[in-house]
Structure 1
Amino acid sequence: MWRHLGLWLALLASTLSLPVQADETAEDYINYIELKPFVTNFGGPGPVRFLKAEVTIQVEDPDAHHAVNAHMAHIRNDLVFLFSAVQTEDVGSVAAQQVLAEQALKTVQQLLQEETGSTHVADLFFTSFVTQ
Protein backbone atom coordinates (compact mmCIF):
# COMPACT_ATOMS: atom_id res chain seq x y z
CA MET A 1 0.00 0.00 0.00
CA TRP A 2 2.82 2.44 0.86
CA ARG A 3 4.42 1.63 -2.44
CA HIS A 4 1.25 2.64 -4.32
CA LEU A 5 0.89 5.78 -2.23
CA GLY A 6 4.51 6.76 -2.94
CA LEU A 7 4.00 6.14 -6.65
CA TRP A 8 0.78 8.19 -6.58
CA LEU A 9 2.51 11.10 -4.81
CA ALA A 10 5.44 11.03 -7.24
CA LEU A 11 3.04 11.08 -10.19
CA LEU A 12 1.06 13.94 -8.66
CA ALA A 13 4.21 15.95 -7.95
CA SER A 14 5.47 15.51 -11.51
CA THR A 15 2.20 16.75 -13.02
CA LEU A 16 2.13 19.78 -10.74
CA SER A 17 5.59 20.82 -11.88
CA LEU A 18 4.64 20.81 -15.58
CA PRO A 19 4.29 24.29 -17.06
CA VAL A 20 0.84 25.38 -18.02
CA GLN A 21 0.57 25.82 -21.77
CA ALA A 22 -1.22 29.00 -22.74
CA ASP A 23 -2.40 29.85 -26.20
CA GLU A 24 -0.07 32.68 -27.09
CA THR A 25 -1.21 34.85 -29.94
CA ALA A 26 0.82 37.45 -31.76
CA GLU A 27 -0.94 40.15 -29.72
CA ASP A 28 0.29 38.57 -26.47
CA TYR A 29 3.90 38.22 -27.62
CA ILE A 30 6.32 40.67 -26.07
CA ASN A 31 9.99 39.91 -25.85
CA TYR A 32 13.07 41.89 -24.90
CA ILE A 33 16.47 41.59 -26.52
CA GLU A 34 19.41 42.82 -24.45
CA LEU A 35 22.29 44.16 -26.50
CA LYS A 36 25.86 43.96 -25.28
CA PRO A 37 26.87 47.22 -23.58
CA PHE A 38 28.04 50.10 -25.76
CA VAL A 39 31.16 51.97 -24.69
CA THR A 40 32.31 54.87 -26.84
CA ASN A 41 33.95 58.24 -26.60
CA PHE A 42 31.86 61.33 -27.37
CA GLY A 43 31.78 65.11 -27.19
CA GLY A 44 34.10 66.29 -29.94
CA PRO A 45 37.25 68.32 -29.23
CA GLY A 46 38.42 68.82 -25.71
CA PRO A 47 38.84 66.29 -22.95
CA VAL A 48 37.97 62.74 -23.86
CA ARG A 49 34.53 61.78 -22.55
CA PHE A 50 33.10 58.29 -22.42
CA LEU A 51 29.58 56.97 -22.66
CA LYS A 52 28.46 53.53 -21.57
CA ALA A 53 24.91 52.50 -22.44
CA GLU A 54 23.12 49.22 -21.94
CA VAL A 55 20.28 48.93 -24.43
CA THR A 56 17.26 46.63 -24.50
CA ILE A 57 15.00 46.36 -27.55
CA GLN A 58 11.33 45.38 -27.29
CA VAL A 59 9.84 43.26 -30.08
CA GLU A 60 6.28 42.04 -30.41
CA ASP A 61 6.52 38.91 -32.53
CA PRO A 62 8.93 36.05 -33.24
CA ASP A 63 9.71 37.39 -36.74
CA ALA A 64 10.84 40.67 -35.20
CA HIS A 65 13.04 38.79 -32.73
CA HIS A 66 14.64 36.93 -35.62
CA ALA A 67 15.09 40.12 -37.68
CA VAL A 68 16.84 41.93 -34.82
CA ASN A 69 19.19 39.00 -34.22
CA ALA A 70 19.88 38.59 -37.95
CA HIS A 71 20.89 42.25 -38.28
CA MET A 72 22.55 42.67 -34.87
CA ALA A 73 25.96 43.67 -36.25
CA HIS A 74 24.42 46.38 -38.42
CA ILE A 75 22.25 47.60 -35.51
CA ARG A 76 25.26 47.82 -33.19
CA ASN A 77 27.29 49.62 -35.85
CA ASP A 78 24.65 52.30 -36.39
CA LEU A 79 24.10 52.78 -32.65
CA VAL A 80 27.85 53.15 -32.01
CA PHE A 81 27.99 55.92 -34.63
CA LEU A 82 24.91 57.58 -33.13
CA PHE A 83 26.30 57.47 -29.57
CA SER A 84 29.77 58.66 -30.57
CA ALA A 85 28.29 61.67 -32.42
CA VAL A 86 26.45 63.09 -29.38
CA GLN A 87 27.62 66.22 -27.60
CA THR A 88 27.78 66.73 -23.85
CA GLU A 89 24.48 68.64 -23.84
CA ASP A 90 22.83 65.70 -25.65
CA VAL A 91 23.28 63.49 -22.58
CA GLY A 92 23.39 66.01 -19.73
CA SER A 93 19.81 65.53 -18.49
CA VAL A 94 17.15 62.86 -18.29
CA ALA A 95 15.12 64.66 -20.97
CA ALA A 96 18.16 64.71 -23.28
CA GLN A 97 18.75 61.00 -22.66
CA GLN A 98 15.10 60.29 -23.54
CA VAL A 99 15.56 62.18 -26.81
CA LEU A 100 18.68 60.10 -27.51
CA ALA A 101 16.71 56.90 -26.79
CA GLU A 102 14.05 58.01 -29.30
CA GLN A 103 16.78 58.71 -31.87
CA ALA A 104 18.25 55.26 -31.23
CA LEU A 105 14.81 53.67 -31.68
CA LYS A 106 14.29 55.50 -34.97
CA THR A 107 17.77 54.46 -36.11
CA VAL A 108 17.02 50.78 -35.45
CA GLN A 109 13.55 50.98 -37.00
CA GLN A 110 14.86 52.70 -40.13
CA LEU A 111 17.63 50.13 -40.54
CA LEU A 112 15.19 47.22 -40.20
CA GLN A 113 12.72 48.90 -42.57
CA GLU A 114 15.45 49.13 -45.21
CA GLU A 115 16.70 45.58 -44.63
CA THR A 116 13.44 43.68 -44.08
CA GLY A 117 10.56 45.92 -45.18
CA SER A 118 9.23 46.29 -41.62
CA THR A 119 10.31 48.30 -38.58
CA HIS A 120 9.85 45.28 -36.24
CA VAL A 121 10.96 47.11 -33.06
CA ALA A 122 8.28 48.43 -30.71
CA ASP A 123 10.51 50.28 -28.24
CA LEU A 124 14.07 50.79 -27.06
CA PHE A 125 15.19 51.28 -23.47
CA PHE A 126 18.40 52.39 -21.80
CA THR A 127 18.71 49.98 -18.88
CA SER A 128 21.93 51.69 -17.83
CA PHE A 129 23.41 54.98 -18.97
CA VAL A 130 26.70 56.39 -17.69
CA THR A 131 28.83 59.27 -18.94
CA GLN A 132 32.25 60.28 -17.71
Structure 2
Amino acid sequence: MRKVFSGLLLVLALLPLAGRAEEPAQDDYVSYIELKPFVANFISDGPIRFVKCDISIQVSSPEGLNAVNYHLPRIRNDIVFLLSAQREEDLASVEAQQRLSRMALEKVQAVLVVEEGEPYADDLFFTSFVIQ
Protein backbone atom coordinates (compact mmCIF):
# COMPACT_ATOMS: atom_id res chain seq x y z
CA MET A 1 0.00 0.00 0.00
CA ARG A 2 2.88 2.33 0.82
CA LYS A 3 4.44 1.78 -2.64
CA VAL A 4 1.13 2.53 -4.35
CA PHE A 5 0.69 5.69 -2.30
CA SER A 6 4.29 6.81 -3.09
CA GLY A 7 3.75 6.10 -6.79
CA LEU A 8 0.48 8.04 -6.76
CA LEU A 9 2.18 11.03 -5.09
CA LEU A 10 4.93 10.94 -7.70
CA VAL A 11 2.39 10.89 -10.56
CA LEU A 12 0.42 13.76 -8.98
CA ALA A 13 3.59 15.77 -8.52
CA LEU A 14 4.56 15.35 -12.19
CA LEU A 15 1.09 16.10 -13.62
CA PRO A 16 1.49 19.87 -13.67
CA LEU A 17 4.74 19.47 -15.61
CA ALA A 18 3.20 17.11 -18.16
CA GLY A 19 0.26 19.41 -18.90
CA ARG A 20 2.32 22.56 -19.29
CA ALA A 21 2.97 23.57 -22.88
CA GLU A 22 6.40 24.78 -23.80
CA GLU A 23 6.67 28.54 -24.11
CA PRO A 24 7.14 29.42 -27.79
CA ALA A 25 10.52 30.88 -28.60
CA GLN A 26 10.54 34.51 -29.72
CA ASP A 27 11.34 33.33 -33.27
CA ASP A 28 8.25 31.09 -33.28
CA TYR A 29 5.79 33.82 -32.21
CA VAL A 30 3.18 34.75 -34.80
CA SER A 31 -0.05 36.58 -34.17
CA TYR A 32 -2.72 38.07 -36.43
CA ILE A 33 -4.72 41.17 -35.66
CA GLU A 34 -8.05 41.20 -37.46
CA LEU A 35 -9.23 44.73 -38.12
CA LYS A 36 -12.86 45.74 -38.33
CA PRO A 37 -14.08 45.89 -41.94
CA PHE A 38 -13.11 48.91 -44.01
CA VAL A 39 -15.58 50.64 -46.30
CA ALA A 40 -14.37 53.53 -48.45
CA ASN A 41 -15.39 55.20 -51.67
CA PHE A 42 -12.75 55.43 -54.36
CA ILE A 43 -12.09 57.53 -57.46
CA SER A 44 -14.34 56.54 -60.35
CA ASP A 45 -15.29 58.19 -63.66
CA GLY A 46 -18.91 57.15 -63.17
CA PRO A 47 -21.13 56.92 -60.13
CA ILE A 48 -19.68 56.69 -56.64
CA ARG A 49 -18.10 53.29 -56.08
CA PHE A 50 -17.09 51.59 -52.85
CA VAL A 51 -14.54 49.08 -51.69
CA LYS A 52 -15.18 46.92 -48.63
CA CYS A 53 -12.36 44.83 -47.26
CA ASP A 54 -11.30 42.90 -44.20
CA ILE A 55 -7.65 43.15 -43.22
CA SER A 56 -5.44 41.08 -40.93
CA ILE A 57 -1.98 42.24 -39.84
CA GLN A 58 0.72 39.69 -38.98
CA VAL A 59 3.17 40.45 -36.17
CA SER A 60 5.97 38.31 -34.80
CA SER A 61 6.29 39.60 -31.24
CA PRO A 62 4.09 40.48 -28.29
CA GLU A 63 5.49 44.02 -28.53
CA GLY A 64 4.28 44.21 -32.12
CA LEU A 65 0.83 43.01 -31.09
CA ASN A 66 0.63 45.69 -28.42
CA ALA A 67 1.97 48.42 -30.71
CA VAL A 68 -0.51 47.68 -33.51
CA ASN A 69 -3.44 47.54 -31.11
CA TYR A 70 -2.37 50.76 -29.38
CA HIS A 71 -2.01 52.73 -32.64
CA LEU A 72 -5.01 51.17 -34.36
CA PRO A 73 -6.97 54.43 -34.79
CA ARG A 74 -4.12 56.03 -36.75
CA ILE A 75 -3.48 52.83 -38.71
CA ARG A 76 -7.16 52.61 -39.70
CA ASN A 77 -7.15 56.30 -40.67
CA ASP A 78 -4.15 55.89 -42.96
CA ILE A 79 -5.62 52.77 -44.59
CA VAL A 80 -8.98 54.48 -45.21
CA PHE A 81 -7.20 57.40 -46.92
CA LEU A 82 -5.11 54.96 -48.96
CA LEU A 83 -8.24 53.12 -50.12
CA SER A 84 -10.03 56.37 -50.94
CA ALA A 85 -7.13 57.56 -53.09
CA GLN A 86 -7.32 54.53 -55.39
CA ARG A 87 -8.69 54.61 -58.92
CA GLU A 88 -10.92 51.91 -60.30
CA GLU A 89 -8.05 50.42 -62.32
CA ASP A 90 -5.94 50.28 -59.11
CA LEU A 91 -8.45 47.80 -57.66
CA ALA A 92 -9.58 45.80 -60.69
CA SER A 93 -7.03 42.97 -60.88
CA VAL A 94 -5.47 40.56 -58.42
CA GLU A 95 -2.04 42.05 -59.11
CA ALA A 96 -3.38 45.54 -58.37
CA GLN A 97 -4.89 44.31 -55.10
CA GLN A 98 -1.58 42.70 -54.15
CA ARG A 99 0.17 46.02 -54.81
CA LEU A 100 -2.43 47.74 -52.66
CA SER A 101 -1.78 45.20 -49.90
CA ARG A 102 1.95 46.02 -49.98
CA MET A 103 1.16 49.75 -49.92
CA ALA A 104 -1.14 49.26 -46.92
CA LEU A 105 1.60 47.28 -45.12
CA GLU A 106 4.04 50.13 -45.78
CA LYS A 107 1.52 52.59 -44.29
CA VAL A 108 1.14 50.45 -41.17
CA GLN A 109 4.90 50.07 -40.80
CA ALA A 110 5.42 53.82 -41.29
CA VAL A 111 2.98 54.60 -38.46
CA LEU A 112 4.72 52.12 -36.18
CA VAL A 113 8.21 53.43 -37.00
CA VAL A 114 7.13 57.01 -36.24
CA GLU A 115 5.30 56.07 -33.04
CA GLU A 116 7.38 53.16 -31.73
CA GLY A 117 10.68 53.23 -33.60
CA GLU A 118 10.11 49.72 -35.05
CA PRO A 119 8.02 48.56 -38.04
CA TYR A 120 6.66 45.52 -36.08
CA ALA A 121 4.11 44.50 -38.78
CA ASP A 122 5.48 41.63 -40.88
CA ASP A 123 2.67 41.24 -43.38
CA LEU A 124 -0.82 42.44 -44.23
CA PHE A 125 -3.58 40.33 -45.77
CA PHE A 126 -6.88 41.21 -47.38
CA THR A 127 -9.11 38.45 -46.02
CA SER A 128 -12.00 39.75 -48.13
CA PHE A 129 -12.12 42.35 -50.87
CA VAL A 130 -15.33 43.55 -52.53
CA ILE A 131 -15.74 46.35 -55.05
CA GLN A 132 -19.20 47.76 -55.58
Which band: TM-score by shorter chain? 0.7 to 0.9
User: Which amino acid letter does the alignment assign opposite residue 43 of structure 1?
Assistant: I
RMSD: 2.0
Match of 2:131 in 1: 131
Of all paired residues, the percent bearing the same amino acid is: 50
Query: What residue in structure 2 maps to residue 34 of structure 1?
Result: 34
Q: Is residue 67 of structure 1 aligned with residue 67 of structure 2?
A: yes
**Aligned position for 1:89:** 89
Query: How far apart in 1 are the matches of 2:100 and 2:19?
Result: 40
CA distance in 2, matches of 1:82, 1:32: 21
Q: Which residue in the other structure is 1:3 paired with? A: none
Deviations 1:99-131 (A, max 9, x none): 000000001001110110000000000000000
TM-score scaled by length of structure 1: 0.84
Secondary structure (helix, strand or coil) at the match of 1:129 reads strand
Deviation at 1:46, TM superposition (A): 2.7
5+ residue gaps, structure 1, are 1-7
Aligned residues: 120
Over 3 Å counting, the alpha-carbon distance change for 1:45 and 1:31 in structure 2 is same
How many angstroms does 1:24 deviate by? Answer: 1.2
| Unmatched segments (≥5 aa) in structure 2 | 1-7
* TM value normalised by structure 2: 0.84
